[in-house]
Structure 1
Amino acid sequence: MSVAENLKHVRQQILELEQRVNRTSGSVCLLAVSKTKPLADIEAAYAAGQRRFGENYVQEAVDKNESLSHLKDIEWHFIGPIQSNKSRQIAETMTWVHTIDREKIARRLSEQRPANLPPLNVLIQVNISGEVSKSGILLEQLDDMILLVKQLPNIKLRGLMAIPAPQTSETDQIQVYAPLYQAFKALQQQDCDIDTLSIGMSGDMAAAIASGSTMVRVGTAIFGARDYTS
């Protein structure tokens, strides 16, 4: 199927999952993960109405931002780990960053955000499964990170992001997400700008939407499998 047909299918899937758990239709937005995919695929998705695109690799993200600069209302979301020496490129080109988990990175992004651009929308990444191999802060560190991010003038806290360990059932996955959702709701009560809970990918979309996700990240189901030989 084409990118446009795949997008239509994924959007329908999201709609059905919203209805299944009595969520408002349209309350979950789709982030198309376009890492390693050619410009033509992104342009095809854009032509089909997609505006939010997620990238994991800094140079690839910067190059795509420049090549597709004529698409004025496109939103670039950086969803990969951030190295200190790459933070300026991210601050200068991205609309959103999902992977704030260190004070140094948060400060650098704020300091390096160009004055002519609006504040960079950021999400704090939480390691809700406590996996040593995963990025993100622990939930007990969240309050301190929130205070820090809110003090920085050129980034704007919009919510939380997580990539949990996969579970064997949807019920188990929902249980893993529960503490994060509670933290998200508590944060919303403190700050009216908090509106984004970025959880859920193709494998756990149903559990994520049942757990309050407002943004799911989907790549392969839209663009097809990645070509690791290119």
Structure 2
Amino acid sequence: MWIARLRRQPIVVQAIWAGLAIAFVAALVEARWSLAFVSVATFALSLVPVLAQRRLGIRLPARFFGWIVVFVFATIFLGEAFDFYGRFWWWDVVLHGGSALAFGLIGFLFVFMLFEGDRYAAPAGAMAFMSFCFALTIGALWEIFEFAMDQIFGLNMQKTGLIDTMWDLIVDTVGAAVGATAGYLFLQGRHLGGLTLALKEFIAANRWLYRRRRFFRKRR
């Protein structure tokens, strides 16, 4: 059952999993235990959404799941094991922006769920603003976490300190704004590339979270 389910995943996900398996075997042969651990940890974290779907009863569209796996792979495996954070100055910027955008979409889905899928229950701008605040709050909490880890355990997660933190927050703000804008345009019946399509796919796959039937009626 599990093998059949894994085979139904997007090609990019299967490719990442195959790459992690190869890296794990190569690390064992070369006695690179840290790489082996990171490979296993990345694979395990990429399976969390699959387990969460079963426990929470939420269905993740292939687009959503693919984004999550790519993000985990880029953050942990490439970022840490191969030091992409140090080799490419823009790597952290891209991941911060991508995560903020994702949280903007998640924030919109959560806010929209509170209104039971009724696009008329609150102004589109208000829902978008709450989505933006949600995403930016997550980004701020992460910066607090990095600061705490540096102060308590002597790590260097903040890199250059205040400058790194401020740039991260700026990127978080831009990403959150894009995600919230996608939600706003969705409510207006407009499109923003694959972002609004991803929102439609998630809502359609989880209609029990958005119970108001009139949202799903086709316009005559």
Shorter-chain TM range is under 0.3
**How high is the TM-score relative to the length of structure 2?**
0.24
Name the structure with the higher helix share: 2
Name the structure with the higher strand share: 1
Q: Which has the larger radius of gyration?
A: 2
